[in-house]
Amino acid sequence: MREVLNKEHFNKSLRISTSVFICVFILRLVFNANPFYAAIASVSCLQGNITDSFKVGKERIIGTILGGSFGILTIYFDIENLNIFKNSFIIGFFMIIIILSCYFILRKPGSNTIACIVFLGITTNMEGRNPYFWASKRIITTILGVIIAFSVNYTLQKYLKKEK
């Protein structure tokens, strides 16, 4: 059976595309930054209602800060200059710590995936960049994406409900 685009599908599509537009526009124009991480955060945080969006956004911010912090800690040890085995071992070791921290210390298992992604983005994607600037930029742009997504979701959902 073919599913028809209903009003809720249209509303969610509108909220996502508006949020991504704002992320790309602001990050490129104002910050001269790559909007990729902000746009991804924005897409993943937009849920069916404000409460769910806030919960997902909060977990995403927590995971981003945790993964980013461990990423900064890891690059402090200059792992790029280690042999492949040691480098891989340290990354794997910190992944275990991140996962266990999300589950047992923070009690935020929903933060687990993004924490690992941010950590890997920082520790495996340096390519000659300043590691601390790169890590900080990843954390800040992801958090901006979450804030933009929540703002757009709140504003448009409120407006779209008035139209009913």
Those residues with Cβ within 8 angstroms of residue 128's Cβ, 6 or more apart along the chain or in another chain: none
Phi and psi at 47, nearest 5°, equal -115, -175
What pLDDT tens digit does each residue of the chain (164 aa) get? 456 667 777 888 888 999 999 999 999 998 888 899 899 989 988 877 788 888 888 999 999 999 999 998 888 877 667 788 988 899 999 999 999 999 999 999 999 999 999 899 888 877 777 878 888 888 899 899 999 999 998 888 777 666 65
Which of 66, 89, 75, 73 has its CA nearest to residue 123? 75
DSSP state of 2: P
- Residue 92, pLDDT score: 94
- Residue 22, pLDDT score: 96
Q: Is 163 exposed, middle or buried (0-12, 13-18, 19+ CB in 10 A)?
A: exposed
Cβ–Cβ under 8 Å, residues 152 and 19: yes
Rounded to whole angstroms, the Cα distance separating 72 from 67 reads: 9
Prediction pTM value? 0.82
